[in-house]
Amino acid sequence: MGSLLGGVKAGTLSGGLYFGGAAAFNAFLLFAFKADVLNSISQSYPQNCPPVHSIDGCFSSVVSSLPYIAFLGFLVSLFFVGLFGRFYESVPGGSPLVRGEVTAVLVGFALVLLGLTGARLGALTTDGLAIFYAVWTVLYGAVLGRLYRSYTRSVRFETTDKNLVRVVIDGNDYTGKSRTFARSSVHRIRAKVAKGTSFREWDVSGGVTVEDSRALETTIEVNGDGLLRAQGGKKH
């Protein structure tokens, strides 16, 4: 399980860039190919802008709807980046960059399915948007992955013998695994020992600190990448 907070923070900043840029590019295409757009509107005028009484008015309505479309897309993206942060270790890919790209592709597909990629009026705007979103989505994924890495830190949890001692973090067993946490966050840790086993202490390295290194249950603060190891052994 990764960091929901890290995912949302990274997604908010990268999503703002992604959808702000998309809205601006949509507006650019509409004005750059206005003649083509007006021609498309004239052919299907009642369907595009039924309450508007002129083609120019319809064009203005389409342009003014772009921020609203971008906002809806941003809300959709928050759902995915929340999942990205919460289940970070389960997202395919071996690095924040690759996992960010996977999430970006999912966001892109969702936008297409929900019709939130912009105003596709005319062949030129449709082709332009297709090329733009292909490139822009790749950049979005790269920024998302990089920002998530900057807001989180990775900690690995080990024991001297996993059959004797297990490491439980916030109620979940992470023995022999790594997990990302929000930077400067505090978490509950507990050593789960087998029958006939005694717990000795917590060993830490890197950016991890333990409140009480000899307590069976205590807390850790994560300020950097690090390692937490539970020391334990058979009772004599």
Token pair belonging to 21: 């840029």
DSSP 112-129: HHHT-S----SHHHHHHH
Band of residue 236 on the pLDDT scale cut at 50, 70, 90: low
User: Quick one: how many helices (H) and strands (E) in the chain?
Assistant: 7, 7
Band of residue 218 on the pLDDT scale cut at 50, 70, 90: very high
- The structural domain count of the chain equals 2
Amino acid identity, position 171: G
Total count of residues recorded for the chain: 236
Residues 87, 173, single domain; the answer is no
pLDDT score at 46: 59
Residues 89, 48, single domain; the answer is yes
Q: How far apart are CA 68 and CA 166, in angstroms?
A: 50
Residues 59, 104, single domain; the answer is yes
Average pLDDT across the chain, whole number = 88
Residue ending a domain, among 116, 151, 186, is 151
Q: Is the pLDDT of residue 52 over 70?
A: no
Residues 39, 134, single domain; the answer is yes
Residue ending a domain, among 96, 130, 151, is 151
Residues 111, 184, single domain; the answer is no
Residues 132, 173, single domain; the answer is no
Total-model pTM = 0.84
Residues 10, 123, single domain; the answer is yes
Which position has the higher pLDDT, 154 or 54? 154
Q: How far apart are CA 47 and CA 21, in angstroms?
A: 27
Q: What is the mean pLDDT of residues 202-213?
A: 93
Q: Is the pLDDT of residue 184 over 80?
A: yes
Q: Is the pLDDT of residue 169 over 90?
A: yes
DSSP lists the bridge partners of residue 182 as 152
pLDDT score at 53: 60
pLDDT score at 153: 94
Residues 127-166: pLDDT tens digits? 888 889 999 999 999 999 999 999 999 999 999 888 889 9
Residues 92, 201, single domain; the answer is no
Residues 67-123: pLDDT tens digits? 999 999 999 999 999 999 999 989 998 889 999 999 999 999 999 899 888 777 767
Residues 34, 146, single domain; the answer is yes
Residue ending a domain, among 119, 151, 183, is 151
Residues 46, 95, single domain; the answer is yes
Q: What 8-state DSSP symbol labels residue 115?
A: T
Identify the domain containing residue 165 by its residue range: 160-234
Residues 174, 142, single domain; the answer is no
Q: Is the pLDDT of residue 62 over 90?
A: no
Q: Is the pLDDT of residue 189 over 90?
A: yes
pLDDT score at 230: 92
Residues 171, 191, single domain; the answer is yes
pLDDT score at 65: 87
pLDDT score at 48: 58
